[in-house]
Amino acid sequence: MNLWLKRLSRISAWALLACVVLLVFSGWGITHAGIIYNITFGLVDKGTANTIHNATVLPLAFFFLLHVLINIKFFFSGRRPVVAWVTNGILITIGGLLLVLVIYMEYFYR
């Protein structure tokens, strides 16, 4: 199980990096629309950059939570199975609540 969690942590780290690059790139597309428009040969204008920027928030939060919570699990869970079960339950609960909070803030709170 730990091998799969380590692989999932690595995959989430790369996905997190991709989301951050997209977020930064689209942010520049919003603030420096002319430069990004010319670099992308007219594919990304200010409106498209804004759409990409808004669509990147939820995957960024998901992969961030996944990556951080898996690594916190590895840090806190020792060799004792009781500690591992308690840690897993707490981290899954915290992760789920934080993800629900991000979804609420992104789509329902205006």
Residue 28 lies inside a defined structural domain of this protein? no
Residue 80 lies inside a defined structural domain of this protein? yes
Please state whether the predicted TM-score (pTM) of the whole model is above 0.75: yes
64: containing domain? 2-19+53-107
33-46 residue pLDDT tens: 888 888 889 889 99
25-83 residue pLDDT tens: 999 999 988 888 888 898 899 999 999 999 999 999 999 999 999 988 888 776 676 77
Q: Which residues contact 23 (CB under 8 A, 6 or more apart)?
A: 53, 56, 57, 60
State the Cα–Cα distance between residues 102 and 79, nearest whole angstrom.
33
Looking at the 3D structure of the chain, how many domains does it have? 1
Residue 45 lies inside a defined structural domain of this protein? no
